[in-house]
Structure 1
Amino acid sequence: MNNIVEFLGQTAQAFPTVNAVEDGQQHLNYQQLAQRVEALGNWLQQQQVACVALHGGNSIDWVIVDLACHAANIVCLPLPLFFTPQQIRSCLEQAGAELLLSEELLLPGQCKLDLDEALPGVVAWPLPERFHCWELPFNSTEQLPEGTKKITFTSGSTGSPKGVCLSRDHQWRVAQSLADAIAIAHPKHLCLLPLSTLLENIAGVYSPLLCGGTVVIPTDAQRGMLGSSNLDSPRLLQCIAEVKPHSMILIPQLLRLLVAACQQGWQAPPSLKFVAVGGGRVDPQLLNNARQLGLPVYEGYGLSECGSVVALNTPTTSYIGAAGKILPHCQVRIEKQEVVVSGACHLGYAGDADSWYPNEVYTGDLGHCDADWLFIDGRRKHLLISSFGRNISPEWVESVLMSEPLLNQCVVVGDDKPYLCALLSASSIVQDQQIADWIKTANSQLPDYAQIRQWLRLNDKQLLPYMTANGRLQRARLLQAFETQIDTLYQSNPLSN
Structure 2
Amino acid sequence: MSTTVLDMLSAISGVLPALDDGSLRLSYADVQRSVAAERRWFQSMKVRRCALLAENSARWILSDLALLASEAVNVPLLPSFSHEHVAQVLEDAGIEWILTDAGERVTREHPAFSYVATSHRTGLALLRRDDSPVGSGAWPKGISKITYAPGSPGVSLKHNAVQSVTDSLVAEIAGLGVQTHLCLLPLADLLENIVGVYVPLTMGAKVVVRPRHTMGINNVSLKLPLLLQAIDTASPDSMIVTRELLRALVDAVRDGWRAPESLKFIAVGGPVSAELFQEARHAGLPHPNAEVRTVDLGAIDAGRFVYLRGPVTQIG
Instruction: Judge same fold: TM > 0.5, yes or no.
Output: yes
Q: Partner residue of 1:152?
A: 147
TM-score, normalised via structure 1 length? 0.58
8 Å CA contact retained: 2:118, 2:126? no
**In the TM superposition, what is the alpha-carbon distance from 1:189 to its structure 2 partner?**
0.6
Q: Partner residue of 2:270?
A: 279
8 Å CA contact retained: 1:20, 1:30? yes
Unaligned runs of 5+ in 2: none
Q: Pairwise mapping of residues 58-207 of structure 1 onto structure 2 (< 5 A)?
A: 58-104=56-102, 105-111=104-110, 113-116=111-114, 118-119=115-116, 122-123=117-118, 125-128=120-123, 131-136=124-129, 137-139=131-133, 142-155=137-150, 159=151, 161-183=152-174, 184-207=176-199
Q: Pairwise mapping of residues 48-447 of structure 1 onto structure 2 (< 5 A)?
A: 48-104=46-102, 105-111=104-110, 113-116=111-114, 118-119=115-116, 122-123=117-118, 125-128=120-123, 131-136=124-129, 137-139=131-133, 142-155=137-150, 159=151, 161-183=152-174, 184-226=176-218, 228-280=219-271, 282-296=272-286, 306-308=300-302, 312-313=306-307, 315-318=309-312, 324=314
SS at match of 1:268: coil
> In structure 2, what is the Cα distance between the partners aligned to 1:205 and 1:285?
29
**In the TM superposition, what is the alpha-carbon distance from 1:304 to its structure 2 partner?**
10
Residue 32 in structure 1 maps to residue 30 in structure 2 = yes
Quick check: which has more Rg, 1 or 2? 1
Return the structure number with greater helix share: 2
8 Å CA contact retained: 1:302, 1:309? no
8 Å CA contact retained: 2:161, 2:299? no
> In structure 2, what is the Cα distance between the partners aligned to 1:141 and 1:50?
13
Deviation per CA, 1:168-196, whole angstroms, max 9, x where unpaired?
Answer: 12112111211211233343111000001
Q: Partner residue of 2:8?
A: 7
**In the TM superposition, what is the alpha-carbon distance from 1:283 to its structure 2 partner?**
2.3
Deviation per CA, 1:192-248, whole angstroms, max 9, x where unpaired?
Answer: 00001000001110111121111110112322113x131111000000011000000
> In structure 2, what is the Cα distance between the partners aligned to 1:259 and 1:25?
31
> In structure 2, what is the Cα distance between the partners aligned to 1:88 and 1:302?
33
> In structure 2, what is the Cα distance between the partners aligned to 1:163 and 1:123?
28
8 Å CA contact retained: 1:301, 1:311? no
> In structure 1, what is the Cα distance between the partners aligned to 2:280 and 2:178?
25
Q: What is the CA RMSD across the aligned residues, in angstroms?
A: 2.6
> In structure 1, what is the Cα distance between the partners aligned to 2:225 and 2:235?
15
SS at match of 2:51: strand
**In the TM superposition, what is the alpha-carbon distance from 1:288 to its structure 2 partner?**
2.2
SS at match of 1:266: coil
AA aligned opposite 1:74: A
8 Å CA contact retained: 2:53, 2:100? yes
8 Å CA contact retained: 1:144, 1:165? no
8 Å CA contact retained: 1:79, 1:153? yes
Q: Pairwise mapping of residues 479-490 of structure 1 onto structure 2 (< 5 A)?
A: none
Q: Residues 310 and 107 from structure 1, CA distance in 2 versus in 1: closer, same or farther, beyond 3 angstroms?
A: same
> In structure 1, what is the Cα distance between the partners aligned to 2:155 and 2:132?
18
Q: Partner residue of 2:19?
A: 21
AA aligned opposite 1:203: V
> In structure 1, what is the Cα distance between the partners aligned to 2:304 and 2:270?
12
AA aligned opposite 1:211: M
8 Å CA contact retained: 1:153, 1:164? yes
Query: Identity rate of aligned residues, in percent?
Result: 34
> In structure 2, what is the Cα distance between the partners aligned to 1:154 and 1:124?
27
Spell out structure 1 runs of 4+ moving beyond 4 A.
297-305, 309-314
8 Å CA contact retained: 1:145, 1:165? no
> In structure 2, what is the Cα distance between the partners aligned to 1:7 and 1:86?
39
- How many aligned residue pairs are there? 307
AA aligned opposite 2:30: Q
SS at match of 1:222: helix
**In the TM superposition, what is the alpha-carbon distance from 1:5 to its structure 2 partner?**
3.3
Q: Residues 74 and 257 from structure 1, CA distance in 2 versus in 1: closer, same or farther, beyond 3 angstroms?
A: same
> In structure 1, what is the Cα distance between the partners aligned to 2:78 and 2:27?
27
AA aligned opposite 2:109: Q
AA aligned opposite 1:149: S
SS at match of 2:261: coil
